[in-house]
Amino acid sequence: MRPLWAVLALALVWAQEESRTRQPTGAPPATRSVPVRSVPRPAPEEVVIMETLSGKVVEKNGTPLGGVRIWFVNKATGQVLGETRTDEKGNFALAIQRADTLIVRLSREGKEFVEREYPMEELISSEPEIPFAP
């Protein structure tokens, strides 16, 4: 009789354990939630057109001016597109982003300043002589 009680006790323990882990009928099986990672989309490509500007800064009488600091500013946005200095012969060259109209700011020794507007086409079609006339 003892083995029968042991079998019944074991069956009862097994049934209790089974009832704790079993899903009710009709319920969907338990699933583990996995977080979904979003894949970042690549940013649209921005096309930037660059132009090379070159020319010479001269005094009123045509004498080349060396060491003049030059800023090229997009008139529409006010953004400085580039900055350079003239060499000893007054020459400059710089690649900048394309814009319709540029403001060219010149400074000599940080004391004298000149500012003039130029259409971009005028600056890239020839090597202009920009007068430094404060």
pLDDT of residue 1: 52
Query: Does any domain span residue 88?
Result: yes
Which tokens hold the place of 15? 């049934």
Query: Does any domain span residue 62?
Result: yes
Average pLDDT score over residue span 21-47: 72
Query: Does any domain span residue 18?
Result: no
Contacts of 115 (CB under 8 A, 6+ apart): 103, 104, 105, 106
Boundaries of domain holding 104: 50-131
Number of domains, the chain: 1
Q: CA-to-CA distance for 68 and 108, rounded, in angstroms?
A: 5
Residue 107's pLDDT band (cuts 50, 70, 90): very high
Query: Does any domain span residue 42?
Result: no
pLDDT of residue 113: 87
Q: Tell me, what CATH number does 60's domain have? A: 2.60.40.10
* Angstrom distances, CA of residue 80 to CA of 6, 46, 52, 96, 101: 91, 19, 15, 10, 12
pLDDT of residue 77: 92
Query: Does any domain span residue 22?
Result: no
Q: CA-to-CA distance for 85 and 102, rounded, in angstroms?
A: 17
pLDDT of residue 49: 83
- pTM of this structure: 0.63
Query: Does any domain span residue 33?
Result: no
Query: Does any domain span residue 121?
Result: yes
pLDDT of residue 79: 93
Query: Does any domain span residue 113?
Result: yes
Write out pLDDT tens, residues 48-95.
888 889 999 999 898 999 999 999 999 999 999 999 999 999 999 999
Residue written as token pair 């020794």: 109
